[in-house]
Amino acid sequence: MASAPHKTFALAAHDEGGVLSKFEIERRALGPKDVKIAIKFCGMCHSDLHQIKGEWGNSKYPMVPGHEIVGLVEAVGTEAQKFKVGAKVGVGVFVDSCRACANCRQGDEQYCTGNGILNSAVFTYNHTLPDGTLVQGGYAQTVVVDEAYVLRIPDNLDLAAAAPLLCAGITVWSPFLHFGVRSHHTIGVVGLGGLGHMAVKFAVAMGCDVAVISHSPGKEALAKKLGAHHFIVISDEAAKSAHARTMDYIVDTVSAPHKLQDYLPFLKTGATLCLVGIPTKPYELHAGDVLMQRLKVAGSVIGGIRETQEMLDFCGRHGITSMIETVPAAYANKAMTRLEQNDVKFRFVLDIGGTLSASSPELEGA
């Protein structure tokens, strides 16, 4: 008997005010290669905040955000073979791609160029399909995704704390791989938020010498608790001099406007500073800041399916998850307000499975 589309409850924003409210959406029928997932938890990424408020200029409403999805397989299509009902799974930032372009073939689906333009991957939300359907994200009870874009969550990881790995984790892991981070390297991490604390955890587990670079002296104890070997306050000239030209790689996770020139002096000759945050204002950089030591300033966004699974498996072996604050669905608007104020360590995670249903209360602030 053929599967039919189904209704599910979700949290949606309806305009640039960004206020979330309970909303019923329709998920597609289960296709032959599809997996239907009962969503248990969904991380609240800072990009969700930007998107529901229309701050990047491409928002489509109504919008159900969420691309740090974890849950249990509820049903599989007739030809699906990767997962069995009951398996712990996750879905990240994209749910399809062309599968034929050079980037997709080499496992870089996040850089899909299938229709001849950049970013042709089908994102988990705020994406319009050719038939006009809006793709809706993980602040919802269920989701249906092709099995090729579903990830296995190691059984030993706490499901809620694993959710942010699907965006925050892979965002820093992918450039670590691409730029060849190794155990003998000294790694700088700019910013100690949702992305930065994952970068510290990964680099420590890889055996690197790790330095956190921050504007906030009060974060030193936390940085050391996470395993960082050095903590550098950017206004401390003596510390900056002591660590000048000592770092093989720096990952800059900060999304607020800041000066790249403050961090380049830490790099060894020929080393790389990689940007993974997206500030609202363009950077200003003089050629002389990089050419005198042959420095490289690069960027990276999320990762492909293969390397995301490799990251999850690494987390399983090393017991790595994100530091989270789990909140009920009704608290989502308050959580967004706190997220905007950077009042969370380090990721809000919505308890979808336990607190979102037809009978669950309306959202505070809706």
Q: Do you know the residue count of the chain?
A: 366
Q: Computed from CA positions of residues 333, 338, 341, 344, in that sequence, does the dihedral angle turn out positive or negative?
A: negative
Judge contact between 339 and 25, C-beta under 8 A.
no
- Domain ranges across the chain: 6-167+322-363, 171-299
Q: Look up residue 357 and give its two tokens.
A: 């249903």
**Three-class secondary structure of residue 7 per DSSP:** strand
Question: Any alpha helices (H) in 292-357, and if so which ranges?
Answer: 305-318, 332-340, 352-355
Q: Computed from CA positions of residues 61, 304, 7, 350, in that sequence, does the dihedral angle turn out positive or negative?
A: negative
CATH for 6-167+322-363 is: 3.90.180.10
Q: Look up residue 143 and give its two tokens.
A: 């989701």
Residue 129 confidence (pLDDT): 87
Residue 356 confidence (pLDDT): 96
Name the architecture of domain 171-299.
3-Layer(aba) Sandwich (3.40)
Torsion of CA 142, 147, 150, 62, to 10 degrees: -40
**Phi/psi of residue 98, each to 5°?**
-70, -25
Spell out the per-residue pLDDT of the chain, length 366, in tens: 458 999 999 999 999 999 999 999 999 999 999 999 999 999 999 999 999 999 888 999 999 999 999 999 999 999 999 999 999 999 999 999 999 999 999 999 999 998 766 678 999 999 988 888 999 999 999 999 999 999 999 999 999 999 999 999 999 999 999 999 999 999 999 999 999 999 999 999 999 999 999 999 999 999 999 999 999 999 999 999 999 999 999 999 998 889 999 999 999 999 999 999 988 788 989 999 999 999 999 999 999 999 999 999 999 999 999 999 999 999 999 999 999 998 998 899 999 999 999 899 888 876
How many other C-beta atoms can be found within 10 angstroms of the C-beta atom of residue 339?
A: 18
Query: What are the b/e assignments for 23-36, b being 16+ CB within 10 Å?
Result: bebebbebbebbbb
Q: Look up residue 174 and give its two tokens.
A: 């992918």
